[in-house]
Amino acid sequence: MKKHYLILALLVIGNYSLTAQIHHFEIGQTLSQYNYKNSLGVKNNQLTAVSGNKLGLFFKTKKEDVIFGLSYQEQNARGGNRTQIYKWETRYIGPQVKQFYPVNDKLQAVFSLGTMFLLEGKQYIDGAQIQLKNNKEFNGLWVHPAIEINYVIVALQGLALRLNYQLNPAFKIGNQGAEKLSFLSHHIGLQFNLLNQNKKERLDEE
């Protein structure tokens, strides 16, 4: 099933790329804090963040300061005690819309809103593997707003390399069952931004 989702996503991107320009591609690492409560409402304070990958491909729209695209991110964590070790490895994918608020020609503030669903999820308990696709606290539809900061590191001919930081909470929409889960993620990475000529000229002047 996950292969079908990936094929569909690639088809959507490929079809849209025929009529729209790519704005940027982003790649980086994410650290996600699991905010988990069991069926009794007790929070697990033994969980620690584990780094994961983040990818994104975004396209220009008719509005210069608004873009949309597809975002992929991994939400990983580990926990345990002296007698038991467990960890989670999850992969989410979904559409995202971003709006830019330039501070100057190199610095941007960005607000975004996206949705995502579980592409693949596994839990390991002392080496034993459990699939999470049927677990209500992980699957279903998620909403993730984000605040971002972008800063131009290098501006080349038609391309800007930006340092990107994102603060990204995520919440499930609908029934999570008896157990409750949300994420708070920190992303840091690079954006490869395709520039139009006017933007290239402004950056060259700095």
> What predicted TM-score, i.e. pTM, was given to this entire model?
0.84
CB 57 within 8 A of CB 25: yes
Confidence of residue 201 (pLDDT cuts 50, 70, 90): very low
Is 191 domain-assigned? yes
Number of domains comprising the chain: 1
2 assigned to some structural domain: no
Does 50 map to a domain?
A: yes
Where do runs of H (alpha helix) occur along 1-112?
A: 2-17
Comparing 197 with 100, which gets the higher pLDDT? 100
Question: For residue range 133-174, what is the model confidence (pLDDT) as tens digits?
Answer: 988 999 999 999 999 999 999 988 888 999 999 999 999 998
Q: Is residue 84 part of a domain?
A: yes
In a 3-state reduction of DSSP, which class is residue 21?
Answer: coil
Judge whether 138 lies within some domain. Answer: yes
Q: How many CB atoms lie within 10 A of CB 200?
A: 16
Q: Which of 166, 117, 139 is nearest to 5 (CA)?
A: 117
CATH of the domain at 79: 2.40.160
Of the pLDDT bands very low, low, confident and very high (cuts 50, 70, 90), residue 204 is very low
> What letters, b where the CB count within 10 A reaches 16 and e where it falls short, cover 155-182?
beeeebebebebebebebeeebeebbbb
Domain housing 168: 28-150+162-205
List CB contacts of 143: < 8 A, sequence separation 6 or more: 113, 114, 115, 170, 171, 172, 173
- Kindly tell me if the per-residue pLDDT of 29 is higher than 90: yes
Residue 157 lies in a domain: no
- Compute the distance between CA of residue 81 and CA of residue 21 in angstroms, rounded to an integer: 50
So what's the pLDDT on residue 157?
81
* Residue 103 vs residues 97, 149, 151, 199: alpha-carbon distances, Å: 20, 10, 10, 14
pLDDT band at 28 (very low <50, low <70, confident <90, very high): very high
Establish if 7 belongs to a structural domain. Answer: no
Map 63-90 to HEC letters: CCCEEEEEEEEEEEEEEECCCCEEEEEE
Q: Is residue 196 part of a domain?
A: yes
